[in-house]
Structure 1
Amino acid sequence: MMRAFLKTEAGSTSVLLAATVVALLWANSPWGGTYESFWHTQAGLSFGAGEFSLDLRHWVNDGLMTIFFFVIGLEISYEVRLGQLRDRRLVAVPAVAALGGMLVPAAVFLAFNAGGPAAGGWAVPIATDTAFVLGLLAVVGARCPDPLRAFLLTLAIVDDVLAMMIIAIFYTAHLSLPALVVAGLLLAAIVTLRWLKIWRAPAYIVLGFALWLATLASGVHPTLVGIALGVLVFVYAPSDHKLLRAGEAVQQFTSEPSAGAAREAARSVQRAVSVNERLQLRLHPWSSYVIVPIFALANAGVRLDAETLREALTSPVSLGIALGLVLGKVAGISLGTWIPLRLNWGVLPGNLVWGQLLGGAAVSGIGFTVALFIVDLAFDDPAIAAQAKIGILAGSLLSALLGWIIFRLVWDRGGVCAPPEAEPEEELPELLAVPVGPGDHVRGPDDAAVTIVQYGDFECPYCGQLRGTLHDLLDRSPDVRLVFRHFPLRTMHPRAVAAALVAEAAADAGRFWEMHDILYDNQRYLTDEDLGHYAAELDVQPWKDVPRHRRRIAADEQSGHDSGVRGTPTLFVNGVRHQGALDAASIARAVEDARISP
């Protein structure tokens, strides 16, 4: 579920970015006047003498965005019942981090605008745009490990919930009690249908649309209906009974194929999966590739002429939002992460290190969709709204740049994966304890002047980055060879041992280095099924001699421990531990020093 979610959100980022660029180009073109006039075009429905009408921008912001928030509600419901939000210790840290990432940016904004006409926009810099964040992390690639994605996704979910609560509490201008009562009754009717286990889609669609209309008339923002309905959608893990029935139906179709058997098999398989998951599968592409880009097209257009930009540079609104997103998010999320860890309220997934968390905190300052959404609610003055949008664009761009720089710095300074307990106080050995022998995996000539021994882990992102550096070095240096030894970090990388076993199986077939490269090219996809596919590509039997391969991996690990290896990657150049950074220049200098050393 999470992999599919990440893939959809990351893939839609380019569409969202394109829509934003189109909106800006449109608003700043010679036909810029048509931008606002188009989105203020009235459209509606008439029923005899009655008429219901909104302009196009409100149809997008109040209508289509309800579906967007409905999808968020589905995701929240799933994660609370079956996903990451079930484990309180894993939720505690990102939840407090999300709270800090909202309070500090709001305080930064108010430091510039308290008491002024724009003070009501304090909530603009509080929200994180999940689509843009995950899209940027996809570009960052292996520098951002899966545990950090999981941490940021949990943070974003909590962020969305808190943002919706803030919108409901602070951005409801007026209330119509009769409409609010009707909305409450309709919501109660939907809850009753759910309690009675009546699963008729037309009934929910009609009641849901009526609830949206009543909420719109009540003064409460109707997108809250989306969150509420999404949370109410039933979610469950497939039961053994339903799985068995689905299996029997499929078996029946296989033995006696017919249209009726095919229909029954499809129904049985479908019923084994909860409605929540089926709706997510159907609606995520529409939400990510259609609704959110249309929202950006309708709201991101702002004039960027010299006068507007000059005003924005000195505007407390623009500065408060931009600095709130860039500095406030980093400070708030970092503090909100440190406090629960310090008080032992929870743990981090996968033993993340602070460099990764700071990069994640920085990119969380990309506040776009919900930020623009709140601008529409907070500001009636078009000039102030325009300054706010410029602040959002500037702050989001700077946050993306800052996050990219932090991730790059973590790599360039020689990032190493190491579990927290693997930081001994004793002085570590500098020499390789077990010399290179006939059983080692060697790439390069036997008579090489320089031998680099790498202790690595196939799931370690730093090892994945280093692979390209070492490959380039071997291509340029025919007198250098590389020896790979296994050092899987079992507490941090749960798939590392399985990947090492498959690599050893490939070694039996003389194809270790081919498998080595495949595994590093696919670090995020190392399930047993994935490993089986890679083995099939190389005509390797991955689980044929597991006990022997485990002994071989254990021998590599023991040699690493005896040599003082505590994290990955660790390099030895001609038997001496490499103490410098793990970038190309540092390793090349170490190789050159080894050539001239006796």
Structure 2
Amino acid sequence: MSLLRSARFPAIVLLAAAILAVVLANSPLGPAIASVKDAYVGIPGVFEMSVGHWVQDGLLAVFFFIVAVELQYELTNGELNSARKALQPAIAAAGGVIVPIGVFLLFAARSDAVDGWPIPTATDIAFALGVLAVFGRGLPSGIRIFLLALAILDDIVGIVFIAVLFTEDVNVGLLALAAVVVIVFGFLSRRLDTRAQVPIAIVLGVLAIATWVLVYLSGVHATIAGVALGLAMAQRPALRTRHELEPWVNGIVLPLFAFSAALVVIPSVSPSQLSPAFWGILVALPVGKVIGISLAGWISLRVGNRGATPHLSFADLLAAGALGGIGFTVSLLLSELAFSGDPLLRDEATLGVLGGSMISILLAAVLVAQRARHYRRSESASPSDEMPPPAATEGQIA
């Protein structure tokens, strides 16, 4: 289990699952696997979904629960619990959302792919931290803190996009009932330290399932149920629950989703015949994220309070921008949602996410490794362990 809680291994599993899916989808086994994904499972005539939707709407809600628990902690006790701490990553995150949208629209503004503009705005925190763990030995903790805050803020944007843009014909009554259940869930979670811990935990499980069903039936994307529950749960039991769920999410939920989403057939066409959705995402993830995060982050160094942390150089921000371009999980979900009615566009958008994320992974590996070497050399050359590395001075451009 400890291996699945590490930063490196889950990222490797996630990438392997996506590569395996693309290979199998383009093999003789492809049609059979696709038929399994499209098969309906559930209670006939009462509640049925395809296997793919059980993964996308059901299992992925658990992932969003974990994201929401981490978000709750960071907003109350972590690196986003004050405006001063949140200012720099918030400005950088804004640049990392706005610029990729602009890049995407340069390719797709006048095409039927324009609805895919939210896709390149996401950052896959598990993947980004995995690359940081593999190539970032010697980096100061400030870079990881900045990246974590940046990715969490990106997750907030992604959650808002999912909740607002991909919701149709909302049943307000069912949504209100789901809100009531969430409130009861949050209240009972504060009683988990009593002697009735086991019965309360069982009731909480039932309430969580009820919330998911009500949100799904209301017309709002079901993963929002996981977000609501994660934010409502009392922090101590929420963190314990996150700890217990993390290996299962890293080892089963995310690889299954990556495998399901990446089951796409590579079009047998020339590059010029590929959709603007493909090219827009392919460029917007690595290029838009690097430009948006690094420039907005550099601006934030000029407008932020003196003494605000973390202290980053422009070269550090370039590395963070490359890491931010690893869209993967949430970008794949946004591709599924944005082009749910057009399988061809959806598949090309998925290929764009995979290609853009791979480019970002390679670019991030180079930039992170270079910055890590820089800091290791600076530390070895420093006459005192208490002296900060020269490149970490606030506002300095390396």
TM-score over 0.5 (shorter chain)? yes
- Alignment correspondent of 1:488: 385
1:120 Cα offset (Å): 1.1
Give the direction of change, closer, same or farther, for the CA distance of 1:305–1:115 in structure 2 (3 Å limit): closer
Q: Name which of 244, 250, 254 aligns with 1:292.
A: 254
- Alignment correspondent of 1:404: 365
Aligned residue identity for 1:86: N
- Alignment correspondent of 2:152: 157
- Alignment correspondent of 1:275: 237
Q: Name which of 336, 339, 360 aligns with 2:299.
A: 339
- Alignment correspondent of 1:245: none
1:182 Cα offset (Å): 2.4
Contact 2:37–2:52 at 8 Å: present in 1 too? yes
Give the direction of change, closer, same or farther, for the CA distance of 1:110–1:345 in structure 2 (3 Å limit): farther
Q: Name which of 82, 94, 105 aligns with 2:77.
A: 82
In 2, Cα distance between the equivalents of 1:221 and 1:166?
11
1:91 Cα offset (Å): 1.7
In 2, Cα distance between the equivalents of 1:345 and 1:215?
41
Aligned residue identity for 2:259: L
Give the direction of change, closer, same or farther, for the CA distance of 1:350–1:375 in structure 2 (3 Å limit): closer
Give the direction of change, closer, same or farther, for the CA distance of 1:461–1:193 in structure 2 (3 Å limit): same
1:232 Cα offset (Å): 1.3
Q: Name which of 359, 362, 377 aligns with 2:337.
A: 377
Unaligned 5+ runs, structure 2: 393-398
Aligned residue identity for 2:365: W
Aligned residue identity for 2:30: G
Please give the per-residue CA displacement for 1:239-271, whole angstroms capped at 9, x wherever unaligned: xxxxxxxxxxxxxxxxxxxxxxxxxxxxxxxxx
Give the direction of change, closer, same or farther, for the CA distance of 1:234–1:184 in structure 2 (3 Å limit): closer
In 1, Cα distance between the equivalents of 2:242 and 2:372?
36
Unaligned 5+ runs, structure 1: 236-273, 416-459, 467-483, 494-565, 569-598
1:301 matched to 2:299? The reply is no
In 1, Cα distance between the equivalents of 2:386 and 2:5?
26
1:299 Cα offset (Å): 0.6
Please give the per-residue CA displacement for 1:275-332, whole angstroms capped at 9, x wherever unaligned: 12211210111111110000011111222254275633xx211111111101110111
1:109 matched to 2:104? The reply is yes
Alignment size in residue pairs: 385
Contact 1:489–1:567 at 8 Å: present in 2 too? no
The 5 A counterparts of 1:228-377 are 228-235=228-235, 274-304=236-266, 306-307=268-269, 311-312=273-274, 315-345=275-305, 349-377=309-337
In 1, Cα distance between the equivalents of 2:190 and 2:371?
51
Aligned residue identity for 1:382: P
> What is the DSSP-based 3-state SS (H/G/I as helix, E as strand, rest coil) of the residue aligned with 2:344?
helix
The 5 A counterparts of 1:554-593 are none
Contact 1:6–1:134 at 8 Å: present in 2 too? no
Which piece of structure 1 moves more, 78-87 or 183-192?
Answer: 183-192
Contact 1:100–1:336 at 8 Å: present in 2 too? yes
> Which structure's relative contact order is higher, taking Cα pairs within 8 Å and 6+ residues apart?
2
1:38 Cα offset (Å): 1.2
In 1, Cα distance between the equivalents of 2:332 and 2:135?
25
1:23 matched to 2:21? The reply is yes
In 1, Cα distance between the equivalents of 2:50 and 2:344?
20
- Alignment correspondent of 1:263: none
1:185 matched to 2:183? The reply is no
Please give the per-residue CA displacement for 1:16-62, whole angstroms capped at 9, x wherever unaligned: 1111111011101112112321100111035xxx5211000000000
In 1, Cα distance between the equivalents of 2:46 and 2:93?
42
1:410 Cα offset (Å): 4.7
> What is the DSSP-based 3-state SS (H/G/I as helix, E as strand, rest coil) of the residue aligned with 1:86?
coil
Give the direction of change, closer, same or farther, for the CA distance of 1:30–1:143 in structure 2 (3 Å limit): farther
Contact 2:135–2:372 at 8 Å: present in 1 too? no
Please give the per-residue CA displacement for 1:103-123, whole angstroms capped at 9, x wherever unaligned: 111121122222421111110
Give the direction of change, closer, same or farther, for the CA distance of 1:96–1:391 in structure 2 (3 Å limit): same
- Alignment correspondent of 1:33: 31
> What is the DSSP-based 3-state SS (H/G/I as helix, E as strand, rest coil) of the residue aligned with 1:221?
coil
- Alignment correspondent of 1:518: none
Give the direction of change, closer, same or farther, for the CA distance of 1:348–1:355 in structure 2 (3 Å limit): farther
Please give the per-residue CA displacement for 1:51-96, whole angstroms capped at 9, x wherever unaligned: 2110000000000000000011111112222222224322211122
Give the direction of change, closer, same or farther, for the CA distance of 1:204–1:105 in structure 2 (3 Å limit): same
- Alignment correspondent of 1:587: none
> What is the DSSP-based 3-state SS (H/G/I as helix, E as strand, rest coil) of the residue aligned with 1:318?
helix
In our comparison, the structure showing a higher alpha carbon Rg is 1
Please give the per-residue CA displacement for 1:515-564, whole angstroms capped at 9, x wherever unaligned: xxxxxxxxxxxxxxxxxxxxxxxxxxxxxxxxxxxxxxxxxxxxxxxxxx
> What is the DSSP-based 3-state SS (H/G/I as helix, E as strand, rest coil) of the residue aligned with 1:117?
coil
Contact 1:89–1:346 at 8 Å: present in 2 too? no
Contact 1:61–1:295 at 8 Å: present in 2 too? yes
1:345 Cα offset (Å): 4.5
- Alignment correspondent of 2:377: 462
Give the direction of change, closer, same or farther, for the CA distance of 1:195–1:30 in structure 2 (3 Å limit): closer
- Identity of matched residues, %: 36
> What is the DSSP-based 3-state SS (H/G/I as helix, E as strand, rest coil) of the residue aligned with 1:351?
coil
Contact 1:145–1:461 at 8 Å: present in 2 too? no
Aligned residue identity for 1:150: I
Q: Name which of 336, 343, 349 aligns with 1:388.
A: 349
In 2, Cα distance between the equivalents of 1:205 and 1:30?
41
The 5 A counterparts of 1:436-515 are 460-463=375-378, 486-490=383-387, 492=388
In 1, Cα distance between the equivalents of 2:99 and 2:386?
36
In 2, Cα distance between the equivalents of 1:32 and 1:298?
12
The 5 A counterparts of 1:123-142 are 123-142=118-137
Aligned residue identity for 1:102: V
1:178 Cα offset (Å): 3.1
In 1, Cα distance between the equivalents of 2:190 and 2:239?
19
In 2, Cα distance between the equivalents of 1:136 and 1:20?
16
